[in-house]
Structure 1
Amino acid sequence: HATGSEVTTQTSTGTPAPSGTGTMLLTQLPEDVLYQVLLYLGAKDLGRLSQVSKSLHGFVNRDAVWKKLAKECLNTGITRNGTDIYPDIPLKERVRIAQNWFNGVCKSSLPLKWKTKLLPWLQLDMDVLYISQAAHIRGYHLDRDSKKLRRSPSEIYSGHQGDVCRFVLSDSHLISAGSDGNILVHSRRGGVSLRLSGHSQEVNCLDSKDGLIISGSRDRTARVWTLSSYSPRATIAMFDRVWSVAISPTLSSFVTGTACCENFFPLRIWDVERSACLCHLGSDFRRGAGVLDILFESPFQLLTCGYDTFVRLWDLRLSPQRCVMEWEEPHDSTLYCIQTDGNNMIASGSSLYGVVRLWDKRQTKCLQVFQLSRDAASSPVYCLRLSSSHLYAALASALHSLDFRQNTTSS
């Protein structure tokens, strides 16, 4: 057992060995042995041990010591496959903030407000938060230290004759879908480089990866586009309004979510090359149980949510593909959007009172709930985005920010 910075061995009877015969400093252990010892400690114990001496402080603060803990926590940036999303932030600091996510310790603020009620959408790219407001998309830089939005936008993208419904980002382009039925490909260096026209009604949803674009519309079609063509490569008759689409990380297939008014299989997987339906997911959706948001966690795992008030996790490796876990919104509210940390956490946005819920995938009960709108005329949460320390939620007339960096006494 360890006492301070010493390791004391014991005799076979359980009493400590005589002084000088079985005692050594922790720092005298080989590094690989010390590392294995520290794997048994929790965050509080590691924090206290780091205060014993300078040498232990340096060793304990290494990312390798905290990696096992980080994988078990919420939103530390370590995904299920081991990818590190935030390599520039020490893991010890991320584990500290993760405890705040788990306990709901945060500070709420309103970085942006506007008078007209809108259906805003968000994207977060490094230190820039993009938000659609009517026909425009504005990019706001986040201050590196305070993470507050600067008052004036650094980028503005325009061109639609109606409201922007959805938009996605790539390294070189911002691609937006509008209520005017058009898809605009904006160069991130400035200007509209491509206008894709084909839908007869508003384009509700959009996804894009590696030059491939999938769009879904109220006109009951889904379309497959590429950045190298002005006309769609394929048009798929859906016989129902399309509310959500998502391209698989493999780029070989995509998923559509419809309103479930005309077709009782609202979730279907399509082959990109042949535009043929590969399969449908689930068979017990009730009429009107439309799917409003779809998110791939891996090529084989898919998260969905919508009017039926559930977040569902689908495993595409099983035969047949089926839902393997589900989380129910306890107040029977429509779920407009979902986000995930790629590991243990899901955030969902509800249709009433601006309610955001945090879920731990290892349990079915809601972990934390935040009510962002307290007005009589409540607003849905239309979009959520996560960083290592913040949750951003877009409501009808304001952008809300939850800051989880608050100091605690846990370490």
Structure 2
Amino acid sequence: MLLFQLPEDVLFHILSYLDFRSLGRLSQACRAMCRFVNRDTVWRKIAKALLNTGITGNGTDIYPHIPLKDRVKIALNWREGSCKRAALLKWKTKLLPWLQLEGNVLFLAQDATIGAYHVHKDSGRLQRCPFQIYSGHSGDVCRFVLTDSYLISGGSDGKILVQSRTRNMLMMLSGHNQEVNCLDSKDVLIISGSRDRTARIWTLNSSFPRDTIPMYDRVWSVTISPSLSSFVTGTACCENFSPLRIWDVERLQCVCSLGSEFRRGAGVLDMVFESPFQLLTCGYDTFIRLWDLRLNPRKCVLEWEEPHDSALYCMQTDGSHMIASGSSYYGVVRLWDKRQTECLQFFQLSSDLVSSPVYCLRFNCSHLYAALATSLHALDFRQSPNHVR
């Protein structure tokens, strides 16, 4: 009882010296202590040091609706690779599927359509049938992105479709004459890249491209900076220049090229901004690279190599310490801690007889979803190894 006569800020300071095991045991001392220890403020310091707790590098909380103590339990499973595996969907024809995960809805591109599936809150599994289907392409959907109001997709037919997520509305953007390999959208801006060796800039109020940039190489990936002032293109690296280039949105000028020692054919397949100044990239050269865009010259400050010399098709970051990547062979998903050089955990999702790349992966606090050529897999990390009770 004397402990609770201390001011709360003093008690918080005392508890900040305890690890997660000690906090878990302390919460069992009495009901009053349990209520106090279960506050998010008590667990925030521990959560910031663990993987995928939703606390990003700038302090933003991605999952404020989930108690931090519960997220710490799950984060320990991510670190140790403790999870249940399940194949959620299977199909007979080999595809190049793409995913987006938003709240309790998973969007999956298969052939020329995109299905929206409700994710069961308790199990992480999908409803049997999609509650909404987006169609309109005459070829396979290569990439799609979500905004607050729209689903924007690029297809092998060279078309970009802008579809309302709430109403039956469709706008077609025509300009590319070969498949649209990649696209990104922020605010009213859309950037697309194509096998036709061009990158195009669009706005949501026009069906014609605002600008076209000759790239002289196939464009595999694009991403728009959070500042909206620039975007980055990743090409196939079949010409004599860096596959990574930063472009000014308004002036359409190449601001700079990133790196100078890429092997021929070492194309960049995926990239993501962690902040306006930090860019993560991966591709055929088997490396994940972190670029610091504040430096002059801008350069790679950290890199992680896929140990089996496999191309890296996709990746996602938790905005803090963790990166998940998908390899080109045997459906291998790897978890990386950016504070370490070696891979933290890996999971092989396809058999030795049927090898498939991981074409796309997405994760939230408790589940990771990976799309392979003929199946969609889920890893459920909510199993507790009894670190915190």
TM-score interval w.r.t. the shorter chain? over 0.9
CA contact (8 A) 1:240 1:263 kept: no
For 2:78, the aligned partner's letter is W
* Counterpart residue number, 1:88: 65
User: Gapped runs of 5+ residues in structure 1?
Assistant: 1-23
CA contact (8 A) 1:135 1:161 kept: yes
SS of 2:14 mapped into structure 1: helix
Structure 2 distance, partners of 1:309, 1:281, is 17
Query: Would you say how many aligned residue pairs link Structure 1 and Structure 2?
Result: 388
Structure 1 distance, partners of 2:59, 2:145, is 25
* C-alpha deviation, 1:313, in angstroms: 0.2
* C-alpha deviation, 1:98, in angstroms: 0.1
* Counterpart residue number, 1:317: 294
* Residue 351 (structure 1) aligned with residue 337 (structure 2): no
Q: After the TM superposition, which parts of structure 1 deviate over 6 Å for at least 4 consecutive aligned residues?
A: none
Structure 2 distance, partners of 1:408, 1:370, is 18
SS of 2:209 mapped into structure 1: coil
> Which of 117, 128, 153 pairs up with 1:140?
117
Per-residue displacement from partner, 1:27-67 (whole Å, max 9, x unpaired)? 22221111001111111000000000111111100000000
CA RMSD for the aligned pairs? 0.9
TM-score w.r.t. structure 2 length?
0.99
* Counterpart residue number, 2:362: 385
Per-residue displacement from partner, 1:344-401 (whole Å, max 9, x unpaired)? 0000000000000000000111000100011413000000101100000000000000
Structure 2 distance, partners of 1:70, 1:318, is 29
* Residue 72 (structure 1) aligned with residue 56 (structure 2): no
* Counterpart residue number, 2:78: 101
Structure 1 distance, partners of 2:169, 2:269, is 28
* C-alpha deviation, 1:190, in angstroms: 3.6
Compare CA radii of gyration and give the structure with the larger one. Answer: 1
* C-alpha deviation, 1:104, in angstroms: 0.2
TM-score w.r.t. structure 1 length?
0.93
Farther-moved stretch of structure 1 (142-151 vs 47-56): 142-151
Per-residue displacement from partner, 1:166-224 (whole Å, max 9, x unpaired)? 00001110000000000000111243421001001000000000010000000000000
* Counterpart residue number, 1:372: 349
Structure 2 distance, partners of 1:363, 1:224, is 38
Structure 1 distance, partners of 2:129, 2:276, is 38
* Counterpart residue number, 2:166: 189
* Residue 332 (structure 1) aligned with residue 332 (structure 2): no
Q: Percent identity at matched positions?
A: 72
Structure 1 distance, partners of 2:76, 2:279, is 26
Per-residue displacement from partner, 1:65-104 (whole Å, max 9, x unpaired)? 0001111000000000000000000000000000000000
* C-alpha deviation, 1:407, in angstroms: 2.4
Larger RCO, structure (CA 8 Å, separation 6 or more): 2
User: Gapped runs of 5+ residues in structure 2?
Assistant: none
Structure 2 distance, partners of 1:367, 1:407, is 18
CA contact (8 A) 1:166 1:206 kept: yes
Structure 1 distance, partners of 2:3, 2:372, is 53
For 2:314, the aligned partner's letter is C
Query: Matches of residues 126-165 of structure 1 in structure 2 within 5 Å?
Result: 126-165=103-142
For 1:154, the aligned partner's letter is F
* C-alpha deviation, 1:147, in angstroms: 2.0
* Counterpart residue number, 1:18: none
* Counterpart residue number, 1:7: none
Per-residue displacement from partner, 1:93-134 (whole Å, max 9, x unpaired)? 000000000000000001111110000000011110000000
* C-alpha deviation, 1:25, in angstroms: 3.0
SS of 2:339 mapped into structure 1: coil
Per-residue displacement from partner, 1:267-314 (whole Å, max 9, x unpaired)? 000000111100000000010000000100000000000000000000
Query: Matches of residues 147-226 of structure 1 in structure 2 within 5 Å?
Result: 147-226=124-203
SS of 1:161 mapped into structure 2: coil
SS of 2:153 mapped into structure 1: strand
For 2:320, the aligned partner's letter is N
Structure 2 distance, partners of 1:39, 1:278, is 45
CA contact (8 A) 1:293 1:304 kept: yes
SS of 2:320 mapped into structure 1: coil
For 2:154, the aligned partner's letter is A
